[in-house]
Amino acid sequence: MKKKKKKKRTHIPFRLNFLFFIVFLLFSLLILRLGFVQIVSGESYKEEVEKTEDVVIHTPVPRGHMYDRYHRVIVDNKPLKAITYTRSQNTKQQDRIEVATQLAEMIDMPFYSSFLEGENKEREKVPGEVRITERDLKDYWLIKHPKKAEAKLTEQDLEKVKNDEMEEKDLYKLQLDRITKKELQTLKSDLEVIAIKIKMDTGYALTPQIVKSNVTDVEFAKVSEHLQHLPGIDVMTYWDRQYTYDGLLRTLLGNVTSADEGLPREQLDYFLSRNYSRNDQVGKSYLEKQYEHVLHGQKARMVSVTNRSGQVIETNQVSEGQRGSDLILTIDMELQKQVEEIVTKGLQRGKASGGAPLLDRIFVMLMDPHTGEILTMAGKQYVIDSKTKKAEIRDFALGNMTTSYEMGSTVKGATILAGFDSGAIRPNQYFVDQPLKFASSPPKKSYVNMGSINDVTALQRSSNVYMFRTVMAMANASYVYDGPLRIGSSTFEKLRSYYAQFGLGIHTGIELDSESTGITGRNPQPGNALDLSIGQYDTYTPLQLIQYVSTIANGGYRVKPQLVKEIREPLLGSEDLGSIQHSFEPHILNRVTMTDDQINRVKEGFRRVMQVPGGTAYKQFSSAPYSPAGKTGTAEAYNKGRSVRNSTLIAYAPHNNPEVSMVVVVPSAYMQGGSSSLSQEIGRQVLDTYFGLTAKGEEELREEENEQVVDEQ
């Protein structure tokens, strides 16, 4: 009989049990630990989590510079001292009053309270002055006198809140309403403290707020010495704009908000969404505003770590700031300077002449007709000073694009080309220049009877009748002596559409706000169509006029006017310019529909105006060595209820290869005893100056480029 085999015992059950025991033990320890963390230490850990908070702070940097086309500095930055206040998240009102009281002993804060001192409408605001309102006084009084403030409320008032008949916030309003003027009078000695506190309250928590800008060295030293006793107060340097050429081109360069103004209210949300601070300086007009995104730069980024009480534990710089990029303008500032001197002398001469009461402004522009780069944009006007009540000459460069005038015969080139393109007239067509008599109206004529003339002579001698005949042909209107003139409104539209091809009566494309397109006459009487053809009905800006003459000068291409040539990277600690970030290329808006041969007919007429005897500007420009071409204009207008003449001039040179175009507009230049040739006299001086200075500017630029090459090597 076989012996039964013994069954082998296994140890697997024991090992599994041991493993389960270990897992059970670990889970038990984990549950105990979680219970300890949540129940025993939960509150302390929660406090630890809430202990710190990161707050991002952006600090300002200098704005970018502006240079002229030859890299001369136009707008720079100058450092100014300022006192700032940074409040923590839980700072109490009483704490701020204590700091403001101490600060009032160290600085002189300008303030004005119309409520306590009486309204004075003639009083001018002092720079940096704080206006203290009645509400400011009442808010301060309640903080300063808490017990008296509490006494302003009756038991009835409190009962109403308790019974939900009135909200708690209404109690504060009741307190404000019950403060008497006599009680507010007691605050006269605290006005400076109130003014400082108002500035301190303006900013956000943990964001530096300028309390006073442009402080004196003495104030700066006093505050710096006592910073440890002035929680939240600090001193800093900020930058204000500095203009190398003083008032030159100031209206066009634009302005920035002051450190006291901060962000414009109407654009507050726009700037805050782009990481601006409320007290940041920003461009608020023209070039400063248009290129704010370029000039503003990248602010330094700081992160402040605060505890649960809102106190700053530490501050770390995350990224360095970079000042704004630089703008290279198309303007030649030395040329601008000399042109403005010419304009000022012309304005002074006009004021001394028989036209003294009316001649109050002059405009001159120079532009590259091929690129649209504006070389000079000068404008001056007489302004009555609010303090002295005397007339003084101030910059009005902006008037070149914001004001419009009847430009007279300068538009006749566009009229001839409209006649060509519409088929109403043909090149070298002759008309007899003699007075035209229509029913129930005085004769329409030129300044002299010219006899039989063609298109070129009509421009040379500035014939009105030739233009009248052209418009009549466009309207299919036949002429009968003392008969009716039949011209419909469609002819106005047709002629204006041709003018628009050259930029007359429409936006020029310049990238600045407030450009005027002129005034379009609204009375479609037949005689007004004739006046329109000689520039004595619609009005145009000097900017539109220079775009028009440039279009003829360059062979028919309407080019967008440019004021900025390049955007350059900023270089810190160096006077050299950085590399080019963006270059503005010429922008052709449209090509006129006239042929080259037709445009050349007008260009020949313009050449004869200045270079051939009988031309209306021959006397002034015949000796000019730079072969100019152009067109004069004299428009009848009204100024302050009196009949005047606008003296205008358009030109370009040299006539066979134009490198510069020019416009001169002298509104109200001619009265009894005045001079209608003032625009020609100014124009000759300006072109002489241009051709004398251009070579000098180009030489300066070459020398600068050569120096940079040597430095790099």
Using one digit for the tens of pLDDT, what is the confidence trace for 160-187? Answer: 888 888 888 888 898 889 999 899 999 9
Q: Is 490 a catalytic residue?
A: no
Question: Which residues, in sequence order, are bridge partners of residue 83?
Answer: 212, 235
Q: What is the 3-state secondary structure (H, E, C) of 373-420?
A: EEEEEEEEEEEECCCCCCEEEEECCCHHHHCCECCHHHHHHHHHHHHH
Ranges of the chain with pLDDT below 70:
1-12, 14-15, 36-38, 40-60, 118-124, 204-206, 260, 299-321, 350-358, 573-575, 639-641, 670-676, 695-713
Catalytic residue selected from 277, 325, 409, 463: 409
pLDDT for 272: 78
| pTM of the entire predicted model | 0.80
**Domains and their CATH numbers in the chain:** 50-83+236-325 (3.90.1310.10), 92-118+128-204 (1.10.10.1230), 334-700 (3.40.710.10)
Tokens linked to 416:
């001839």
Peptide bond preceding 654 in cis form (omega within 30 of 0): yes
pLDDT for 1: 47
pLDDT for 30: 80
Cα(119)–Cα(138) distance, integer angstroms = 18
pLDDT for 37: 65
Cβ 88 vs Cβ 310: under 8 Å: yes
The tally of CA atoms less than 13 A away on the side-chain side of residue 375 is 24
Cα(624)–Cα(117) distance, integer angstroms = 65
3-class DSSP state of 21: helix
Tokens linked to 284:
């608020």
CA angle at 555 for the pair 549 and 560, rounded to the nearest 5°: 60
Tokens linked to 435:
């007075």
* Tokens 């005038």, located at residue: 405
Residue (of 501, 595, 481) closest to 547 by Cα position: 501
Q: How far does CA 195 lie from the centroid of its chain?
A: 31
3-class DSSP state of 530: helix
Cβ 662 vs Cβ 365: under 8 Å: yes
